[in-house]
Structure 1
Amino acid sequence: MNRRTFLRGACGVMLGLPFLESLLPRDAKADPAGAPRRFIAFFMCNGVNMARFFPSTSYGALTEASFGADRAIAPLVGYRDRLLIPRGIHMAPRGYGFDPTAGDDHMRGMGCKLTAQPLLEGSRYPDGISLDQFIANKINPPGTPALTLMVGARTPTVHGHISYKGSEQPVAGENNPWLAYRDLIGVRDLEEEALVRLTKRRESVLDLVSAEYEALLKKPLSKADRDKLEMHFQTVRDLEVDMGNSGLIPRALSPDRAAEIEGIDPDTVSFDAEFKKIGRMQMDILALAIASGATRSATLQWGSGAAGPIFRWDGMSHTYNHHKLSHGNTKDDDSGEEVAGYEEMLYDIDRWYMGEYVYLLDRLASYEEGGATVLDNCAVVYMNELSDGKRHDFRDLPYIIAGSCGGYFRTGQYIKVTAQSNTLNDRDAPHNKLLTTLANAVGCTEDGGGPIENFGSFGKPGEFDELKA
């Protein structure tokens, strides 16, 4: 059995396992460099409240003071030593019509963010592959694409997509956790009996792989690996129960929750009322997929560009959706009235997203491998469609990198990557350099060997060397 493998069970079901150090050859057990490196995009739309987003301290080491109570990033304080916050990055191609590309600023903020390619007339989709799919093509098992997940309503245009297999080839993010989970365990297109057992009989995927699981437990596993397996399987159980209680699975998987079978109809997964619940399920699935080696590249997109939910949970009781609030107006086209207090509402939204970002980091950090954690071997990149949503600004973009990606990144730092005194510029720090840096961080190489020189057709070649350890 390999250190990272699958349990294969009845009806063709497969369940990935986390890194198990006990199963490594004796001479390889102390080699954390052998752990795989991964990329995850944690993507939001409509920009942020720039006045309260970035650290409140000077450039350099991140401290508790950097995450002051008035900062949107305050929930991240516990991860300050594992974060890298670059400042002064602008998008390439640039917005405001500065570079030749189709589409408006919202379209460019979505379609160009992971591609650094122009949008084409007609489709308004970008002319190239996105970073997540590029990484998957390079380092995933052959034929395994990046995991593409979404939360909320998906617009059937460039506004609803950030992942692309190639020129004008959008990848629709799966916004139904039950379907994403079926893909993860290999039953969406396999035997109907598996679905019957998982739904009508209320069995768990753990029941279907029980024989191989019992055989695995008979191996000489360390206590740490046994604890890790128990945590992994408990995560699966909890996820299944959550999905059952939400009605995403036709029958509840937990017998003691049978009365809650009905829950939410699968057709409502994109509704605002389900935004938080679906998001948590999607992050559980994402963490399982990354930790088990099902993929080494993933995107999680929250909402569509120029749209977004009406936030009415966790203390928020907004009247207008995220896009309208980003403009501070009651109408999407700015023809309405100003929304009183919209800046504070945007701050609350930014801070809420940071809490969800922390939830994902917690899940990834809970998996240990090779003397580190899965999070330590990832680059989990918070990114947004825009910086200031009201201005549709493409400059001084909000980025946060969590995890050092196996020691590639210089974490615990707040770093200005532009040589200009004002970070609100479009001169010398195009975002394609960040994409290039991320591609190399996870171990991608040019077809002829050597590091990636330039990702995308806009911007400048090379990496942001300031960000590297």
Structure 2
Amino acid sequence: MNQARFSRRALLQALGVGAAMLPLLHAERAATAAPSAFPKRMIAVTWTNGIFQQNWLPGNDDLNAARLPTILEPLESWKSKVLIPQGVDLKVMLDANRTYDGHFSYGALFTGVSPAPGVSDGVAPSIDQIIGDDLRSKGVSSPQLNLGCRPYGFSTSWAGRNQKNNAETDPYRLFNRLFGGASLPAAQIDKLRKRRQSVLDLVGTDLERFGQRLGTEDRLKVQAHLDSIRALELDLEAAASQRACTPPAIGEGGINYNNINDYPKHVDLMMKLAAAAVKCDLARTVTLDLIDDGGGNSLTFPWLGIGSPDYHAIAHEGANNATQKTAIDRWFYEQVATLVAQLADSSEGDGSALDNSVVVVANDMNEGNYHAVDNIPFLLVGSCGGFFKTGRKVKLGSMPHNKLLATLCHAMDVPVSSVGEGYGGDCDAFLKA
């Protein structure tokens, strides 16, 4: 069965279901019941073209010993919460002779498996999926949220081989998805839940019947879709217990993807909504891809006084254009600081939502001039409930990033022995408190 015949729309037509059903399959995740203890969360924020590391990497291992470098200055107020694992390589790509293939590393970044040459597709579950599946097995609804700011098809989040977790790119649609029922009376929420449940029952039954007529590969795709429907069912069952939550103020209007001047607003809204989603327990893991993996799609930064050349070209200049690259890198960390501030301002017991979370900041390459995939500039903010010892830089030598992925799973209480392929184990001993 070709891709066109297996499209979501074609599938629903084959089931005799109208196009009006399409939004249902992207329906908002309902809130979970208020936990007895504060949950752990992981938020992964990723962009492309590397970092000008000379103005990024602190000179001291103790981050509290001096002011953070220029690019990291936006995180100065929270440097005691920062952990930098220095010397993390995408060895699965290096082993495949893809040393300078950074623009195709999104598929490996959180899966630990090298994609096929020339593509960024994931061929294994990413850690947000691994953690999400573990949480679902423990009865947690709405564990995952996948977001993006440049809707060009690249992703760091994968359910399995060539099964991308599609990202929500519209902050206003996301707001309605997350908080549309927050102010509804309980009876109205229950009525909405029952109506959606009945539709899901119909779709699920017809999908099972439809899948019986397919070959093995397409039947697996249908099964994956059925699994997502069952996850929605669990979420809807939890809707009646949606806990009180104050949505962020996002104003009115929309995002014009063709107007680069809308990009700062777009990123700002997504940061605030990602923070609100985890604080309101509407998600336990969030991925947020700020730019596609292909170079930036002619992204410029007129609000920084950088109208040309574009981001990709600036990254290629390396030290010859350190001024503009540093300004851009710093701007991205200012956006991360917006997210961190939202989490830090939310009290949870003796700490904050930031203390119970880990914000994983990642890039698809080390610096943009060579596209190399060694020494990736990973940075963590938050101890994830006391798991990580923060306020420091840790030299890991040339550590396979698979080990960091396993440690992130451990921080979220998922007891994996390895993530991806080729490199088992973890780096817990280096990063734990």
Asked if these proteins are the same fold (TM beyond 0.5), I'd say yes
Correspondence for 1:456: 420
CA contact (8 A) 1:46 1:386 kept: yes
Correspondence for 1:368: 347
CA contact (8 A) 1:430 1:460 kept: no
Correspondence for 1:111: 107
Aligned counterpart in structure 2 of residue 310 of structure 1, from 300, 309, 312 = 300
State how far apart, in whole Å, the 2-side matches of 1:143 and 1:15 are.
Answer: 7
CA contact (8 A) 1:64 1:77 kept: no
State how far apart, in whole Å, the 2-side matches of 1:320 and 1:171 are.
Answer: 32
Kindly indicate whether residue 46 of structure 2 is the aligned counterpart of residue 43 of structure 1.
Answer: yes
Correspondence for 1:411: 390
Correspondence for 1:148: 146
Distance 1:292 1:270, change over 3 A: farther
Letter in 2 for 1:93: V
CA contact (8 A) 2:147 2:287 kept: yes
State how far apart, in whole Å, the 1-side matches of 2:267 and 2:127 are.
Answer: 22
1:152-200 alpha-carbon deviations (Å, 9 max, x no partner): x3323xxx2111111111122211101212221367xxxxxxxxxxxxx
Aligned counterpart in structure 2 of residue 382 of structure 1, from 361, 373, 384 = 361
State how far apart, in whole Å, the 2-side matches of 1:328 and 1:19 are.
Answer: 50
Shifted more, 386-395 versus 178-187: the winner is 178-187
Q: Secondary structure at the match of 2:408?
A: helix
State how far apart, in whole Å, the 2-side matches of 1:377 and 1:384 are.
Answer: 23
Letter in 2 for 1:403: G
Distance 1:295 1:15, change over 3 A: closer
Kindly indicate whether residue 54 of structure 2 is the aligned counterpart of residue 54 of structure 1.
Answer: no
Q: Any residues of structure 2 matched to 1:290-309 within 5 Å, and which?
A: 290-308=278-296, 309=299
Q: Any residues of structure 2 matched to 1:63-212 within 5 Å, and which?
A: 63=64, 65-68=66-69, 71-95=70-94, 98-99=95-96, 105-120=101-116, 125-140=121-136, 141=139, 144=142, 146-151=144-149, 153-156=150-153, 160-185=154-179, 206=183, 208-209=184-185
Q: Once the 2 structures are TM-superposed, how far is the Cα of residue 285 of structure 1 from its aligned partner? A: 1.2
Q: Secondary structure at the match of 1:417?
A: strand
1:426-453 alpha-carbon deviations (Å, 9 max, x no partner): xx40111110000010111xxxxxx211
CA contact (8 A) 1:19 1:369 kept: no
CA contact (8 A) 2:30 2:282 kept: no
Q: Any residues of structure 2 matched to 1:230-245 within 5 Å, and which?
A: 233=246, 235-236=247-248, 238-239=249-250, 242=251, 244=252
Q: Secondary structure at the match of 1:319?
A: coil
In the superposition, the TM-score normalised over structure 2's length comes to 0.74
Shifted more, 85-94 versus 435-444: the winner is 85-94
1:331-356 alpha-carbon deviations (Å, 9 max, x no partner): xxxxxxxxx95221110011111111
CA contact (8 A) 1:175 1:269 kept: no
Q: Once the 2 structures are TM-superposed, how far is the Cα of residue 311 of structure 1 from its aligned partner? A: 0.9
Correspondence for 2:400: 430
CA contact (8 A) 1:87 1:398 kept: yes
1:64-100 alpha-carbon deviations (Å, 9 max, x no partner): 51414xx2111211111111111111113134xx426
Q: Secondary structure at the match of 1:346?
A: helix
Unpaired stretches in structure 1, ≥5 consecutive residues: 1-11, 25-33, 188-204, 214-228, 249-265, 330-339, 419-427, 445-450
State how far apart, in whole Å, the 1-side matches of 2:71 and 2:396 are.
Answer: 21
Distance 1:367 1:344, change over 3 A: same
Letter in 2 for 1:310: T
Kindly indicate whether residue 417 of structure 2 is the aligned counterpart of residue 442 of structure 1.
Answer: no
Kindly indicate whether residue 323 of structure 2 is the aligned counterpart of residue 327 of structure 1.
Answer: no
Unpaired stretches in structure 2, ≥5 consecutive residues: 1-26, 190-242
Distance 1:439 1:52, change over 3 A: same
State how far apart, in whole Å, the 1-side matches of 2:30 and 2:258 are.
Answer: 27
Kindly indicate whether residue 336 of structure 2 is the aligned counterpart of residue 342 of structure 1.
Answer: no
CA contact (8 A) 1:123 1:168 kept: no
Q: Once the 2 structures are TM-superposed, how far is the Cα of residue 143 of structure 1 from its aligned partner? A: 6.5
Letter in 1 for 2:316: H
Q: Once the 2 structures are TM-superposed, how far is the Cα of residue 122 of structure 1 from its aligned partner? A: 8.7
Q: Once the 2 structures are TM-superposed, how far is the Cα of residue 270 of structure 1 from its aligned partner? A: 5.7
State how far apart, in whole Å, the 2-side matches of 1:116 and 1:176 are.
Answer: 29
Letter in 2 for 1:431: H
Correspondence for 1:424: none
Q: Secondary structure at the match of 2:362?
A: strand
Letter in 1 for 2:419: F
CA contact (8 A) 1:85 1:414 kept: yes
Q: Once the 2 structures are TM-superposed, how far is the Cα of residue 147 of structure 1 from its aligned partner? A: 0.6
Q: Once the 2 structures are TM-superposed, how far is the Cα of residue 111 of structure 1 from its aligned partner? A: 1.1
Distance 1:145 1:120, change over 3 A: farther
CA contact (8 A) 1:176 1:269 kept: no
Q: Once the 2 structures are TM-superposed, how far is the Cα of residue 294 of structure 1 from its aligned partner? A: 1.2
State how far apart, in whole Å, the 2-side matches of 1:316 and 1:19 are.
Answer: 46
More helix per residue: 1 or 2? 2
Distance 1:14 1:299, change over 3 A: closer
CA contact (8 A) 2:103 2:364 kept: no
State how far apart, in whole Å, the 2-side matches of 1:80 and 1:285 are.
Answer: 23
State how far apart, in whole Å, the 2-side matches of 1:356 and 1:123 are.
Answer: 28
Correspondence for 1:285: 273
Q: Secondary structure at the match of 2:302?
A: coil
Q: Secondary structure at the match of 2:276?
A: helix
Correspondence for 2:21: none
1:298-340 alpha-carbon deviations (Å, 9 max, x no partner): 1111111233221111x332312211111129xxxxxxxxxx9
Distance 1:401 1:19, change over 3 A: farther
